[in-house]
C-alpha cells in the first residue's frame, strides 16, 4: 500500500536570498504487537528559489534661476529602488559629471551628497555619506555597507554649480548616473554576483516660457532593445539674450555761423544699445555703420565709456540685464549733402550672450531727435528697424547787382556807349543749375 502526504511551506526572504530551499524527509511507522519502529531511508529535494534581482535608479534635476553670467545651481535627486526579489548589499552610486559634461563645467559642489531619504525597511542599512569628498568626478556618492531590502529605496541628493558657457552652442547637458549592488552569496559559497542600473530621467520641468530657467527633459535611450530603461537627464536652455539699437540724429546749424544750414555744419549721432534680456549679460557689444548716404567722411561710432567690463577683457562694452550703453559719432555736412536734401543713416549692433549665442539688431530711428523714420530694414518687417533720415530745408536764394562800369564819349549824333556789369550771386544754401539772365 501507499500513502501520499502533502505539506505547504511559505518561502521567506532568507530563502530567496539563499537561492533554494532544501528539504529532507523520513517515513516512520510501527510494526506488530510490539510496535516495533520502522523508518525509511532519508529522501531529499532541493527547490530553486527563483531569484530575480533587479534595481532601478531615477534621477531628477531641479535647476535654480540662471545667473546673468550663465552659471546656475542644479540639485540632483537620485532614488534607488530594489525592484527585484532578493536583498541587495554593498550599495554603490556614481555620477561622473566631469566626464559627461566636460572639464570645468562643475565649478563648485554647493551641497555634498547626502542620503536625504533613507531606506525604511528594518532589514535595510543606510549607506550613509561618501568619503572622500565629492568634486563632480566619478567617486562614490554613498558610503560602504549599505543594504536594501526588497521593495525598499533610498534617495541621495546633492547640489552643484554649473558653468556651461565655454561649451559650444547649442548647449546640451546630458547626464546618466549608475547605481549598483552585490547579490546574495550563492548556496555553493562562491563569489556573489553584482547588479547595476543606469539612471532614468525623473520629473520633467515643463517649458514655462520663463526666460530665467532651464528645461529638463528626456535624453535618448542608448539601447532600446533591452528591458532596462536608461534615459539620460538632459538640461537645455530656454533663456536667450537680446539687444536693441536706437539711433538719434541731431543737427547743429551753428557750427559755421548763423541759424541757416551751411557746409561744415555737423550732425551728431547717438547710438543707444539696450540689453533686452532680464536674465543674461550681453558681452562684447559693438556698433558699426551699415548704411550711409552722406558724401563726406562717414561717422565712426565711439563708445561713451559708460558700460561695464563684465568679462574682464579690459573694455567697457558689456551690458548687465536690462542695462544700456551709448555710442556717439559726428558728421560734417558737404554741399552735396545739402543739395541732396537728406542724409540717411543706419547702424547695427552685435554682441553675444554668455552661452555664445550671437545677438544682433539693426538700428531704429529715435523720433524724439531731428531724424525721421526712413525705410524699415528690420528682420521681421515690424517697424523696429527704421533708417534714420535727416532732411534739410532748402533755402534757395539769388541776387543780381547791375552797374555801369564805363561811359563812352558823346558822339556827334548824340549817342554814346555804356558798359554794364551784372553780378549774379547764389545767396542760398543749395547749388543752382540752368542759370538765366535777362536785361
- In terms of C-beta density within 10 A (0-12 exposed, 13-18 middle, 19 or more buried), how is residue 195 classed? middle
The pLDDT of residue 226 is 59
Cα separation values, 241 from 166, 271, 384, Å: 16, 19, 17
CA distances from 371 to 240, 270, 296 (A): 32, 11, 19
Residue 393 pLDDT: 81
Is 113 within 8 Å of 156 (Cβ atoms)? yes
> What pLDDT shows up at residue 318?
94
Can the peptide bond before residue 117 be classed as cis, meaning omega within 30 degrees of 0? no
Exposure string over 304-331, b if 16+ CB within 10 A, otherwise e: eeebeebbeeeeebbbbbebebbbebeb
Contacts of 34 (CB under 8 A, 6+ apart): none
Q: Is the dihedral of CA 288, 292, 295, 299 positive or negative?
A: negative
Phi, psi (degrees; rounded to nearest 5) at 45: -150, 135
Query: In degrees, to the nearest 5, what angle opens at C-alpha 79 toward C-alphas 76 and 81?
Result: 165
Per-residue pLDDT of the chain (439 residues; tens, 9 = 90+): 777 888 888 888 888 888 888 888 888 888 877 788 888 888 888 787 788 999 999 999 988 888 999 899 999 999 999 999 999 999 999 999 999 999 899 999 999 999 999 999 999 999 998 877 899 998 999 999 999 999 999 999 999 999 998 888 778 899 999 999 999 988 777 889 999 999 998 866 555 555 556 777 778 776 665 556 778 888 887 777 899 999 999 999 999 877 788 899 999 999 999 999 988 999 999 999 999 999 999 999 999 877 889 988 888 899 999 999 999 999 999 999 999 999 999 999 999 998 888 999 999 999 999 999 999 998 888 889 999 999 988 877 788 888 888 888 888 988 888 888 988 887 667 777 888 888 7
Enclosing H/E stretch for 324: strand 324-332
Alpha-carbon distance of 331 to 298, in angstroms, equals 7
pLDDT at 240: 76
Kind and range of the H or E run holding 424? strand 418-426
Q: Which of 280, 257, 293 is nearest to 390 (CA)?
A: 293
In DSSP notation, 138-198 reads: S-BSS-S--EE-TT-EEEEEEEEEE--TTSPSSP-EEE--EEEEEPPPPTT-PPP-EEEEE
**Per-residue pLDDT, 383:** 85
Amino acid at each position: 500500500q501507499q500513502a501520499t502526504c502533502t505539506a505547504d511551506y511559505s518561502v521567506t526572504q532568507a530563502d530567496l536570498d539563499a537561492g533554494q530551499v532544501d528539504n529532507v524527509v523520513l517515513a516512520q511507522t510501527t510494526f506488530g504487537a510490539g510496535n516495533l519502529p520502522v523508518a525509511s531511508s532519508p529522501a531529499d529535494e532541493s527547490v530553486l528559489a527563483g531569484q530575480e534581482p533587479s534595481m532601478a535608479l531615477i534621477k531628477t534635476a531641479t535647476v535654480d534661476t540662471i545667473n546673468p553670467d550663465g552659471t546656475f545651481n542644479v540639485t540632483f535627486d537620485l532614488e534607488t529602488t530594489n525592484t527585484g526579489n532578493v536583498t541587495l548589499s554593498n550599495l554603490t552610486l556614481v555620477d561622473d559629471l566631469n566626464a559627461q559634461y566636460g572639464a570645468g563645467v562643475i565649478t563648485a559642489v554647493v551641497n555634498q551628497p547626502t542620503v536625504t531619504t533613507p531606506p525604511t525597511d528594518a532589514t535595510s542599512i543606510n549607506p550613509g555619506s561618501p568619503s572622500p569628498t565629492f568634486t563632480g568626478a566619478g567617486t562614490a556618492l554613498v558610503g560602504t555597507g549599505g543594504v536594501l531590502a526588497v521593495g525598499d529605496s533610498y534617495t541621495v541628493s546633492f547640489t552643484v554649480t554649473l558653468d556651461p558657457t565655454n561649451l559650444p552652442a547649442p548647449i546640451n547637458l546630458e547626464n546618466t548616473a549608475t547605481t549598483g549592488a552585490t547579490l546574495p552569496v550563492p548556496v555553493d559559497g562562491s563569489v556573489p554576483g553584482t547588479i547595476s542600473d543606469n539612471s532614468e530621467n525623473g520629473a520633467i520641468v515643463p517649458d514655462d516660457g520663463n526666460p530665467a530657467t532651464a528645461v529638463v527633459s528626456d535624453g535618448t535611450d542608448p539601447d532600446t532593445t533591452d528591458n532596462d530603461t536608461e534615459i539620460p537627464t538632459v538640461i537645455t536652455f530656454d533663456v536667450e539674450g537680446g539687444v536693441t539699437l536706437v539711433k538719434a540724429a541731431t543737427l547743429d546749424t551753428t557750427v559755421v555761423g548763423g541759424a541757416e544750414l551751411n557746409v561744415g555744419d555737423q550732425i551728431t549721432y547717438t547710438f543707444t544699445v539696450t540689453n533686452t534680456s532680464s536674465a543674461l549679460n550681453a558681452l562684447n557689444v559693438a556698433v558699426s555703420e551699415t548704411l550711409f548716404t552722406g558724401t563726406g567722411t562717414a561717422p565712426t561710432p565711439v563708445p561713451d565709456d559708460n558700460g561695464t567690463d563684465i568679462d574682464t577683457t579690459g573694455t567697457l562694452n558689456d551690458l548687465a540685464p536690462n542695462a544700456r550703453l551709448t555710442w556717439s559719432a559726428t558728421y560734417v555736412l558737404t554741399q552735396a549733402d545739402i543739395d541732396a536734401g537728406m542724409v540717411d543713416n543706419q547702424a547695427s549692433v552685435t554682441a553675444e550672450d554668455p552661452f555664445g549665442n550671437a545677438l544682433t539688431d539693426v538700428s531704429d530711428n529715435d523720433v524724439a531727435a531731428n531724424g525721421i523714420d526712413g525705410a524699415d530694414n528690420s528682420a521681421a518687417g515690424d517697424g523696429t528697424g527704421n533708417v534714420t533720415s535727416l532732411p534739410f530745408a532748402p533755402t534757395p536764394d539769388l541776387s543780381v547787382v547791375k552797374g555801369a562800369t564805363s561811359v563812352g564819349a558823346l558822339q556827334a549824333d548824340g549817342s554814346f556807349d555804356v558798359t554794364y556789369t551784372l553780378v549774379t550771386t547764389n545767396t542760398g544754401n543749395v547749388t543752382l543749375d540752368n542759370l538765366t539772365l535777362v536785361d
